[in-house]
Structure 1
């Protein structure tokens, strides 16, 4: 199981490791550059002494004594306290030696021309050069060896590395402390978000986290969180209203059932009275059954459990059959039903029939006597739009976007609805249309109301395919 550590701890460790890595790289770079610098200085000193010695050995005048030559070499090479020198003739005789009790290994005497070599003798470190020199009066070139004692350099680098180690430990501890303070301060907005989220309840969903004191990096998170709160608040309000509406709608039939039953049971009655009461109760039970079925349908639709069949449906034929069904009701109120256009959609015939029927029944209920309900079907390359228009009272704009909500009615005076009208028809219509990847909306102005349903285009009608 993976260990879980706090974000402050993680950020602190990350800052500390970053500081350590930077210091290690900087320290190693400084150490390498320093060693290179000292090496260059040593090589420059050896080179200068070598060239000077070559000059003295090559330009000595005839008659110059060997002792005078050695004095010149000693003046040149002995001035440097860390420098050790030895000059050998071609036959191996020592022309000049200032080894200071430091014997040079033989293999360094045979080193390549001007090769820089390093050597350690017990607690001393040396850097030297071996080269061939021309000695005036000698037929063959001699050998010169120059060697610098660089022990002080080694001690300097050891001290430097030791102090760097101490500094690295102290820097790690200081960076850890500063990192903890920085992480704690930087995550303070997250703590505020956590407090607000912890304090959230069903009664405080309207609260939002302010964006002003929040860093830019966290504003996207805050916007997403506030958006989630808004969606939760909307869903909670709708659920609360839905629960209240269910109780409100079921209260009437249940109350009617109780009242009728209590009245009948107050005294002995004949068989016809009991039969009439049972028929009355049956009507209320049917209404409750339809309401429960509609609510189950909507619940399935909300959870994506409605899977429509995929068959070709000619909308003009479907509307014509619905006109036949509603014809008698329309004639009783002297309402004309007209249909224009045609189109085809791919979907579930029973569901689409129910969606269009809900809007038609709604239009018949609110259309004044002697007016007209018109249905227009328009097909384009992308969709098929079915528009059902009827005259009547204009719907207030504040109700337009809510008439598809469950149990919502624009007229509070008709809150209870009729025996067959529970306020779920338009909500069911919207769920059916959305299940078919379509959309439904309403427009109302100048005593004219229209419901529009747009479906994606289905396959071509069979009749048209046969004609072609």
Structure 2
């Protein structure tokens, strides 16, 4: 049934449900009618039996039976649908109505009050057998009374045929009505489908309105609109990423072309060629670093970064980096402070790279004469490393986007510096996430802090 449309499925299910209900209702009605008529027949037979017993029970001897025939004829002979046979203990028929009726002998031994059925050609009878004790006789008389229920049986057969014919008609009608109801009920889904089909890469900012959407589809439409928002954001980032790559690579390529054209414009001595090659080497190094960073981020996006798992004392890593950046900090009068301690399981080279990027950024944006503080704190659930530096406060709307590639806090687009391509924070996030940790930034009152949190091993 998977190959059928949703409208067809709903109409078929609607038809099956209605058919099931009608079938159960029809069979129940037929059964209850039969039980009702059976109960009426049994009650009639019991009344005739009891009356016959009361008449025959006062008979002094079998010889007085002829005197009771008028009463028996008045009781049993006035109903055309009633058949009665009274026989003595030897099986001799003493009374029969109609006279030509002969009930099979096998019903003589039927239990008292047990209803039996008998078919004679096209007629159907339902009857009961009772034994009546007679004074002076060792064996009782046998009274067999039966009702002609042929009309009832014909009624039930006719009712059954009409039930199946009506069920067939209802099947066809319900199939049509089910299709109409399902088609109209699914019309909002068709509107959503048309709206979704009209959305392209150039119209990702459009949204499907939910005002006229039924509550059952509202969650689906909200999820689809959320997906469009994520795709729009991803397309925007991808477009900006391509533009950023072009901007970042244009500067070194332009420098290489300019230097080479100048050198080749005329004959020069060996010192000029060497100076040009050294200058070109710096641009090549910058491009190589950028390509390495982009390859690292591409591997991180595809889950190919697997850090080593060894115990790392973070205070040792930070202390080594503070010693490395100490000379640069002394030149600008910046103090470097470390407090606290903490150990985690991770890759020491990746952690060294992430913390180095944070310290490099902090030195770049810290005013002269100020202090950069590195704080370590460890608890039962996590270890947190914080690098805090004074400087210009970062607006809150930029904090979540700082870790995007090539993101600039300044609204105008600009080239990266010779030593900064705008990938450092993105690399930090990839490294921390590879360690199942998280990184975030806070900035307020002229102080900016980057927090690295690692889960407890």
Q: In the TM superposition, what is the alpha-carbon distance from 1:135 to its structure 2 partner?
A: 4.3
Residue 355 of structure 2 is aligned to residue 356 of structure 1 = yes
Report the CA distance between 1:288 and its aligned residue: 1.0
How much does 1:61 deviate?
7.8
The structural deviation recorded for 1:248 is 1.4
Contact 2:403/2:429, CA 8 A, preserved across alignment: yes
* 1:375 aligned partner: 374
Is the CA contact (8 Å cut-off) linking 2:87 and 2:95 kept in structure 1?
A: yes
Query: SS state of the match for residue 115, structure 1?
Result: coil
Kindly tell me the number of residue pairs found equivalent between the two proteins.
Answer: 457
**How far has the Cα of 1:267 moved from its partner?**
2.7
Could you say which residue in structure 1 is the equivalent of 2:51?
52
Answer yes or no: is 1:454 the counterpart of 2:447.
no
Contact 2:59/2:65 (8 A) holds in 1: no
Q: 2:60, 2:134 within 8 Å by CA — same for their partners in 1?
A: no
Report the Cα distance in structure 2 between the residues aligned to 1:406 and 1:124, rounded to whole angstroms: 96
Q: Is the 8 A contact 1:57 1:136 kept in 2?
A: no
Query: How big is each residue's C-alpha offset from its partner over 1:271-326, in whole Å with a ceiling of 9 and x where there is no partner?
Result: 32222222222211111111111111111111211111111111111111111211
Distance in 2, Cα, partners of 1:273 & 1:401? 48
d(CA) in 2 for partners of 1:375, 1:62: 127
Contact 1:84 1:100 in 2 (8 A): no
Offset of residue 444 of structure 1: 1.6
* Residue 333 of structure 2 is aligned to residue 334 of structure 1: yes
Aligned residue number for residue 148 of structure 1 = 147
Work out the CA distance in 1 between the residues paired with 2:294 and 2:451: 23
Unpaired runs of at least 5, structure 2: none
Q: Are the aligned partners of 1:9 and 1:180 in contact in 2 as well (CA < 8 Å)? A: yes
* TM-score where L is the length of structure 2: 0.94
SS of the residue 2:144 aligns to: strand
- Using a 3 Å threshold, how does the CA distance of structure 1 residues 63 and 118 change in structure 2: closer, same or farther? closer
Counterpart CA distance in 2 for 1:389 and 1:114 is 103
1:56-205 correspondence runs (5 A):
56-59=55-58, 67-135=66-134, 140-205=139-204
> CA, structure 1 residues 273+290, in 2 after alignment: closer, same or farther (shift >3 Å)?
same
Against the structure 1 CA distance between its residues 162 and 45, is the aligned structure 2 distance closer, same or farther, given a 3 Å change threshold? same
Secondary structure in 1 aligned to 2:131?
strand
Matched, 1:385 2:384: yes
Give distance in 2, aligned partners of 1:62 and 1:416: 134
Residues 297 and 90 of structure 1, relative CA distance in 2, 3 Å threshold: same
Once the two structures are superposed, residues 344-393 of structure 1 have per-residue CA deviations (whole angstroms, 9 ceiling, x without a partner) of: 11101111111111111111111111111111111112111111111122
State how far apart, in whole Å, the 2-side matches of 1:315 and 1:28 are.
Answer: 81
Corresponding residue number in structure 2 for 1:465: none
C-alpha distance in 2 between matches for 1:114 and 1:202: 86
RMSD: 2.1
CA contact (8 A) 1:336 1:370 kept: yes
Look up the SS of the partner of 2:16 in the other structure. helix
Measure the CA separation in 2 of the matches of 1:300 and 1:66: 114
Whether the aligned pair in 2 keeps the contact of 1:131 and 1:144 (CA below 8 Å) is yes
Distance verdict in 2 for CA 1:404–1:139, change over 3 Å: closer
Matches within 5 A, 1:2-17: 4-17=3-16
Offset of 1:6 from its aligned partner? 1.0
Determine the structure 2 residue equivalent to 1:240. 239
Change (3 A) 1:63 1:84: closer
Distance, in Å, in 2 between the alignment partners of 1:222 and 1:436 is 36
- Which runs of 5 or more structure 1 residues have no equivalent in the other structure? 459-468
Instruction: Return the alpha-carbon distance in structure 2 between the equivalents of residues 327 and 92 of structure 1.
Output: 132
CA deviation digits over 1:172-213, x for unaligned, max 9? Answer: 111111111222122222222222221221122222333333
The equivalent of 1:223 in structure 2 is 222
CA shift for structure 1 position 414: 7.9
Residue number in structure 2 paired with 1:271? 270
TM-score (normalised: structure 1) = 0.92
Paired residue for 1:304? 303
For residues 134 and 269 of structure 2, the distance between their equivalents in structure 1, rounded to whole angstroms, comes to: 154
Deviates more, 1:170-179 or 1:107-116: 107-116
Distance 1:37 1:432, change over 3 A: same
